[in-house]
């Protein structure tokens, strides 16, 4: 198991085996995420937000606020209706089965 030693300034050198496995290069950022009390995962932040440019296709028109509000309303209504759907048996007279 690779080991690193922390300096008096709180710095460590990540062993080459770990750097290679994570695909880390000079200047890369690393997030430390606590997944259990006192235990952390190192997650490389190797991608830039700029790398996402072009991932979402451009719309053929500009969406208005009214269209956005209607889409939100429709989605919320559909989600609500789905959450209250219950199977009803024919002999239960409207009571949930």
pLDDT at 87 over 70: no
Cα–Cα dist 24/12, whole Å: 15
Separation of first and last alpha carbons in the chain: 57
pLDDT digits (tens, 9 = 90+) for 26-82: 988 899 999 899 999 988 887 777 877 877 788 788 989 999 999 999 999 999 998
């Amino acid at each position: 198991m690779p080991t690193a030693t922390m300096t008096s300034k709180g710095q460590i050198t990540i062993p080459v085996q770990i750097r290679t496995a994570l695909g880390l290069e000079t200047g890369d950022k690393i997030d430390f995420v606590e997944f259990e009390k006192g235990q952390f995962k190192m997650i490389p932040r190797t991608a830039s937000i700029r790398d996402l440019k072009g991932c979402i296709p451009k719309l053929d028109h500009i969406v208005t606020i009214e269209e956005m509000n209607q889409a939100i309303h429709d989605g919320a209504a559909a989600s609500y209706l789905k959450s209250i759907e219950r199977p009803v048996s024919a002999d239960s007279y409207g009571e949930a089965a």
